[in-house]
Amino acid sequence: MKSVIRDISLAKSGKQKINWVRKNMPLLRSLEEEFSKTKPFDGIRITVSVHLEAKTAYLAKLLAIGGGEVSVTGSNPLSTQDDVAAALVEDGLDVYAWYNATEKEFKEHLNLALGCKPNIIIDDGGDLVHLLHTERTELLPHVMGGCEETTTGVIRLKAMEKEGVLKFPMVAVNNAYCKYLFDNRYGTGQSVWDGINRTTNLIVAGKNVVVVGYGWCGKGIALRAKGLGASVIVCEVDPIKAAEAVMDGFKVMTMEDAAKIGDLFITVTGCTRVIHRDHFKLMKDGAILCNAGHFDVEVSVKELEEMAVRKEEQRKNIMGYMLEDGRWINILAEGRLVNLAAGDGHPAEIMDMSFALQALSAEYVLKNYSNLGKKVLDVPEEIDRRVALMKLKSWGVTIDELTEEQKKYLDSWC
């Protein structure tokens, strides 16, 4: 089917963006050289549903260079960049996405992207997997397996595996060391603040910043907030992570207590209603809220809408809600992923590692799917280590190797 995008005339701008990230993604360039020769995906249909901006576009192009028949869609209505979508179409890929899609349009785009009857899927958040197991079950016989990019998607996949309903193998790319130690921590840490700062144009130093959730993404956000001069407060439900936050030098308290003193709130839990009606009642006038989790469920914008007596756009991507007592509470990017809905997402060098994992894991699934079972799998250690070594090589860094004597010594303890 013909691609569904906003405006093909935007392609030139999109190509500039893709060319820029390509220059800064040496791992994917290396795989591009390899895949152009080996053609690992020759004759294979691949559907990609990842935030559709320049880095994702380069991944899609890499899979196509490897012989794949690639269909691309977004994984969030506000993260698709129309010029990047146009550039991919002009380069011969099938794309079904546009910026600010309605809920109905977004779902339609997902379905259109699945229309190629994919053998491999690259998912971000689990929407493709969900559709394949509910409304598009006729496509299941074609699917060999796939890869999942983010924490929320892995949580959904593991729930399906536990229930015994998962119909094909999925590699949890998010759980690879080279993903969460770098993408989740350094990528999210930087890109969230990129999105917040370019949207608000306000200082961070001296403010009380509340980070809700202290997983790897939360750690990165808190670390960058501290570096920007904020007083950081962490809210957690896991006592181990809470203890870690204390030892990292942050204040830890309940959301109820944090709501009273926070200036800027960032949710990054993967859970629902972590900031809700009761918290809004306690917040300062002018409090700013945003979300860095995959779905727009962490800040209950719906409850804030119900409480508000007035709603007014304060600035692009900032919606203000005035409560009965005259206090204003501001929501960035509709409570969607602030680093992508109000920014360009993670830095290119970070996504270089994550997308190298995606490409190599997709190749692994293709070669081994018949023996993998219908379950959630870790990225093989050899792929994780390969990506790390590729990254070190791109930096010009070499490391030591164990001698045979050292290997025997360590083996004697195993």
Boundaries of every domain in the chain? 10-179+346-395, 186-342
Neighbours of 57 (CB within 10 A): 27
Please check if 214 is assigned to a binding site: yes
In three-state secondary structure terms, 222 is: helix
Give the mean model confidence (pLDDT) for residues 366-371. 96
Asked whether 113 and 139 are in contact (CB, 8 A), the reply is: no
Length of the chain equals: 414
Instruction: Answer yes or no: is 220 a known binding residue.
Output: yes
**pTM listed for this prediction:** 0.93
321 is in an annotated binding site: no
The answer to the question of whether 262 is labelled as a binding residue is: no
Q: Which CATH class is domain 186-342?
A: alpha beta
Q: Model confidence over 271-330: pLDDT tens digits?
A: 999 999 999 999 999 999 999 998 899 999 999 999 999 999 999 999 999 999 999 999
Stretch 382-410: mean pLDDT? 96
Query: Is 67 annotated as contributing to ligand binding?
Result: no
Residue 213 is assigned to a ligand binding site: yes
Instruction: Tell me: is residue 293 an annotated ligand-binding position.
Output: yes
Q: Tell me if 175 is assigned to a ligand binding site.
A: no
Domain 10-179+346-395 has CATH 3.40.50.1480: yes
- The reply, when asked if residue 395 is annotated as ligand binding, is no
The verdict on whether residue 130 carries a ligand-binding annotation is: no
Residue 367 CA to residue 370 CA, distance in Å, equals 8
Q: 197: annotated binding-site residue?
A: no
Is residue 314 classed exposed, middle or buried when 0-12, 13-18 and 19+ CB atoms within 10 A define those classes? Answer: middle
216 marked among binding-site residues: yes
Q: What is the rounded distance in angstroms from the CA atom of residue 409 to the CA atom of residue 78?
A: 54
Annotated binding residue 407: no
The dihedral formed by the CA atoms of 104, 105, 110 and 116, expressed in degrees to the nearest 10: 120
Q: What is the pLDDT of residues 41-94, one digit of tens each?
A: 999 999 999 999 999 999 999 999 999 999 999 999 999 999 999 999 999 999
**Strands 170-172 vs 94-96: parallel, antiparallel or unpaired:** unpaired
217 known member of a binding site? yes
Task: Write the DSSP symbol of residue 232.
Answer: E
**Lookup: tokens for 56:** 């994702």
Does the annotation place 346 within a ligand binding site?
A: yes
Q: Which residue has the tokens 């860094």?
A: 397
Is 151 annotated in some ligand binding site? yes
Residue-wise pLDDT for 117-164, tens only, equals 999 999 999 999 999 999 999 999 999 999 999 988 999 999 999 999
Please tell me whether 325 is known to bind a ligand: no
10-179+346-395 and 186-342 agree in CATH topology: yes
Separation between Cα atoms, residue 312 and residue 300, nearest integer Å: 17
Contact present, 74 and 96 (Cβ < 8 Å):
no
